[in-house]
Structure 1
Amino acid sequence: MRRVRLKCNGGPAVLFVEEAPVPRPGPGELLVRSEAVGVTLPTVRKVSEGGGPAPLGGEVAGAVVAVGAGVTAFAVGDRVTGLCFSHAYAELAVVHQSMASVIPDGASAVDAVALVRSGLVARGAHEAGRPRPGDAVLVTAAASAVGTLALQYARAGGASRVVAAVSSAEKADFVRGLGADEVVLYGDESWGDPVDVVLDGVGGELLGPAVRALAPGGRLVAFSSGGGTVDAYELLVRCASVIGFRIAAVARDEPEVYGRWRDDLWKLHRNRVLLPRVAAEIPLPEAERAHRLIESRGNLGKVVLIP
């Protein structure tokens, strides 16, 4: 089978295609013939930071072709989506059953990788911020895969005002079409009237203006892998708080909650409350082009690789 790997021999990181043996699913694991692979920002950052040959994780969706010992909830032939922590950029990938869910009839593999993982992150960040009906919510990276769904969650949750923060004015019409009432740019001197909740998927230098956008008693949810530093004095004067969120912690420690959120995602999708956006479908061997699209902040929605 073909798969994409990362190598860096003292120079820029390179993604290359190789022939590899078909993996065998271990206990509790599924072997999935991938129809679509979702590219995630943490994986893109891992490549940009360089390093030795390494597996590239991501979301996969396709048909189960083999199961490991102890698997009872899935069978060969089931169409599933899930997070692969090893070699996701491959024609066949291994997914642990705890990370997998069935793709409903009528939904495509591309729908699945655009909706499930990004939707779970958006749902979790929204829950962590505890917005009340009538609150104002600001979403950074609003044109990203997670951001597009976070905007829709905020609108469906009864926010009085939904603000989208994006990197360029060219994205304004796109995020307004997802429910944003206002659009601000990262470099703007002010992000407008204060908001009650900020859902931040960027981190880094953007944490400063994100905190300053909070109203008194506001909450900032940091769910990005971008790191960054928050000025404690800015929190003090606003009586504001910062909450860290990782969907992996929910999957590990609260599997019932994780499963319920996952089921809710498909219900909301079926009722057209949540509609994922796909920026590009790119052939698997061109994974480097997919990464460049995300690094340049040129994507409007999810970037998907097609094996």
Structure 2
Amino acid sequence: MRRVRYEHSGGPEVLFLEKVPVPEPGLGELLVRAEAVGVTLPVVRKVREAREPIALGGEIAGEVVALGAGVTGYAIGDRVTGLVFGHGYADYAPLHTSMTSPIPDGASAVDAVALVRSGLVAYGALHAARPEPGEAALVTAAASGVGHLALQLAKLKGARRAVAAVSDVGKAGFVRALGADDVVTYDAESWGEPVDYALDAVGGALLKPAVAALAPHGRLVAYSSGGGTVEAYDLLVGAKSVTGFQLGLIARGQPETYERWRAELWELFLTGDLKAVVHGEFALEDAARAHAVIEGRANTGKVVLVP
């Protein structure tokens, strides 16, 4: 089978395609023939920054072709999606049942990788903000795979005004079509009227203007892999707060909540209330181009590999 790998850190150009044997599913694992693989910013960043090469994992979706020992509840031919911690940029990948869920009728594999993991991050970050109907919301990276879902969910949960922060004004039409009432670019001197809560997927230097955009008693939820710091004084003067969100803690510690969020996401998607937008579908051999789109902040929606 084909698999994408790299041997040293760098930009998208370090990725290459190799041929390797099809893996065998281990204990509690399914072997999935991948029909779609989600490309995420954390993985793109690790390719550039990690000291040692990592397996390119993430969301995958496709058809079960083999069962490992101890597997129950799944059968060959099932259509599933889930999170792979090993090699996921491949024709086939082993997927542990604890990280797997079925794809409902009426949805494709591409739909699944565009919706489930990104949607769960967006849903969880919104939940951490404790939104109340009638509040104003700010979403950074609002055109990204997670951000465009967070923007819609904020409106669905009752935000009277949703502000979309984007890297380029050319994305304004995209986020407005998904419900943004106002659009600001990262380099704007002011981000407009204060908001009650902010969902930040960027971090770094953007934390300061995101905190500044909060009204008194405003809440910022940080779920970025980009790091950054917040000055205590900036929180003190407006009695503002910052909360970190990490989906893995929910998946491991609150599985019932995780499953409920996932079911709600699929319901919203299948009724048409939530749109999972795909920026582009790239062949496996074009993984470098897919990474370049994300590194260049060019995507509007999810970037997907289609083996």
Provide TM-score, normalisation by structure 1.
0.97
Q: How many residues align?
A: 307
Q: 1:217-228 residue pairs with structure 2 within 5 A?
A: 217-228=217-228
- C-alpha separation in 2, matches of 1:35 and 1:117: 16
| Farther-moved stretch of structure 1 (33-42 vs 49-58) | 49-58
Aligned to 2:192: 192
Aligned to 2:170: 170
Alpha-carbon offset, residue 48 of structure 1:
1.5
Aligned to 1:208: 208
- C-alpha separation in 2, matches of 1:9 and 1:142: 28
The 1:10/1:89 distance shift into structure 2, 3 A limit, reads: closer
Alpha-carbon offset, residue 12 of structure 1:
8.4
- The letter for the 1-side match of 2:143 is A
Q: 1:88-237 residue pairs with structure 2 within 5 A?
A: 88-237=88-237
Alpha-carbon offset, residue 250 of structure 1:
0.7
- The letter for the 1-side match of 2:270 is R
| Aligned residues of 2:12 and 2:289 also touching (Cα < 8 A) | no
- C-alpha separation in 1, matches of 2:37 and 2:12: 24
Provide TM-score, normalisation by structure 2.
0.97
What is the DSSP-based 3-state SS (H/G/I as helix, E as strand, rest coil) of the residue aligned with 1:7? coil
| Aligned residues of 2:10 and 2:48 also touching (Cα < 8 A) | no
Aligned to 2:86: 86
What is the DSSP-based 3-state SS (H/G/I as helix, E as strand, rest coil) of the residue aligned with 1:98? helix
Alpha-carbon offset, residue 29 of structure 1:
1.2
Alpha-carbon offset, residue 233 of structure 1:
0.4
Q: 1:38-117 residue pairs with structure 2 within 5 A?
A: 38-117=38-117
| Aligned residues of 1:28 and 1:69 also touching (Cα < 8 A) | yes
- The letter for the 2-side match of 1:274 is L
- C-alpha separation in 2, matches of 1:293 and 1:11: 11
- C-alpha separation in 2, matches of 1:297 and 1:279: 12
- Structure 1 runs (4+) deviating above 6 angstroms are 9-13
What is the DSSP-based 3-state SS (H/G/I as helix, E as strand, rest coil) of the residue aligned with 1:208? helix
Alpha-carbon offset, residue 28 of structure 1:
1.5
String of CA shifts for 1:185-216, please: whole Å, max 9, x gaps. Answer: 10001100110010000000000000000011
- The letter for the 1-side match of 2:76 is V
Alpha-carbon offset, residue 10 of structure 1:
9.0
What is the DSSP-based 3-state SS (H/G/I as helix, E as strand, rest coil) of the residue aligned with 1:294? helix
Aligned to 1:3: 3
What is the DSSP-based 3-state SS (H/G/I as helix, E as strand, rest coil) of the residue aligned with 2:6? strand
| Farther-moved stretch of structure 1 (6-15 vs 194-203) | 6-15
| Aligned residues of 2:9 and 2:50 also touching (Cα < 8 A) | no
Alignment RMSD = 1.4
Quick check: 1:252 aligned with 2:248? Answer: no
| Farther-moved stretch of structure 1 (11-20 vs 243-252) | 11-20
Q: Using the aligned pairs only, state the percent identity.
A: 65
Alpha-carbon offset, residue 148 of structure 1:
0.5
The 1:306/1:188 distance shift into structure 2, 3 A limit, reads: same
What is the DSSP-based 3-state SS (H/G/I as helix, E as strand, rest coil) of the residue aligned with 1:93? strand
Aligned to 1:264: 264
- C-alpha separation in 2, matches of 1:260 and 1:27: 26
Alpha-carbon offset, residue 58 of structure 1:
1.3
Alpha-carbon offset, residue 106 of structure 1:
1.6
Alpha-carbon offset, residue 52 of structure 1:
3.9
**Unmatched segments (≥5 aa) in structure 1:** none
String of CA shifts for 1:35-55, please: whole Å, max 9, x gaps. Answer: 010001110001111544431
String of CA shifts for 1:253-290, please: whole Å, max 9, x gaps. Answer: 11111111111111010111111110010001110100
- C-alpha separation in 1, matches of 2:22 and 2:274: 35
| Aligned residues of 2:28 and 2:70 also touching (Cα < 8 A) | yes
- The letter for the 2-side match of 1:121 is V
- C-alpha separation in 2, matches of 1:119 and 1:75: 26
String of CA shifts for 1:151-183, please: whole Å, max 9, x gaps. Answer: 110110110100000001100010000000000
- C-alpha separation in 2, matches of 1:183 and 1:271: 27
- The letter for the 2-side match of 1:163 is V
